[in-house]
Structure 1
Amino acid sequence: MSIDRAVHDYLMAKPFSDVSQPFGEGVDVYKVKGKMFATLSPEKMRSTQSQNTTWWLNLKCDPHEALMLRDIFDAVIPGYHMNKQHWNTIILDGTVPKGEIERMIDNSYLLVVKKMRKSEQNAIMLHL
């Protein structure tokens, strides 16, 4: 299974998540109960000899943790087209372990859920 498909499937497995393309074709936006927690899009890296597509994943992140992750992983950069303090972009080039990507997705999802009304939080948490 391709990395983009595996990430898509993991994002969609989150309770009450859905995907749309409000920014146009090619940028998948993942939301929980209407609130964005991730984006996934291809970034074409061109060289003179070949053309490869690398997928970019934007995730919400605690500001302190966001900085630490950027220091640890070269493939984690400030959120592309996002608030750089609260979002990271993970370049899915195979250098960040799958388990770490899943942990970052889980954190992004929970950060968004924690900002919802208590009744919505409780409904979602029953499914986790």
Structure 2
Amino acid sequence: MHIDQLREYCLSKKGTTEEFPFDEETLVFKVLGKMFALASLKRWEAGEAAINLKADPEYSEELRAEYNSIRPGFHMSKKHWNTLYIHEGELQPQLIKALIDHSYDMVVKGMTKKLREKLI
């Protein structure tokens, strides 16, 4: 998966915006202002593609046990975030998209009913 494909997929999700709130290289995708995906453009350009995604803590443990390319979130809460090291080649695009969906859904699930209604 290329960064353009990642970006296009994330932006196809309802209520999603992209921004650089931390620095000029960390691309952040948010749903109604809440982060669900982060990617370092500098790492992608260097051939070290990786993305941070939110996940249910139990599911995170399962993913980390099953895939060497999924590790605790880099510079994030290790309980709620995973880093997917895409450049290692283990993770298929379908799985990456499913994990983006899961991250998005986790963030939406944590929103107030009033915010969730904006996505309908």
Q: Partners of 1:42 and 1:91 in 2: how far apart?
A: 13
- The answer for the alignment partner of 2:82 in structure 1 is 88
- The answer (yes or no) to whether the contact 1:42–1:56 under 8 Å persists in 2 is no
For the residues of structure 2 that align with 1:43 and 1:64, how far apart are their CA atoms? Answer: 31
Match of 1:78 in 2: 72
CA shift at 1:42, angstroms? 4.0
Runs in 1 of length 4+ with deviation above 2 angstroms? 42-45
User: Under a length normalisation based on structure 2, what TM-score does the superposition of the two structures give?
Assistant: 0.91
Using the TM superposition, give the Cα deviation of residue 34 of structure 1 relative to its aligned residue in structure 2, in angstroms.
0.5
Identity rate of aligned residues, in percent? 34
Change (3 A) 1:92 1:33: same
Bigger Rg, which one: 1
The separation in 2 between residues aligned to 1:52 and 1:39, in whole angstroms, is 16
Structure 1 residue 52, shift from structure 2 partner: 4.4
Asked whether 1:106 is paired with 2:105, we answer no
Equivalences, count: 119
Q: TM-score, normalised by structure 1?
A: 0.86
Matched, 1:54 2:48: yes
- Judging by fraction of residues, say which structure has more helix: 2
More strand by share: 1
Partner of 2:114: 119
Distance, in Å, in 2 between the alignment partners of 1:29 and 1:38 is 6
Distance 1:18 1:63, change over 3 A: same
- Residue-by-residue CA offset, 1:39-74 (whole Å, 9 max, x unaligned): 0114659xxxxx942111000000011011111111
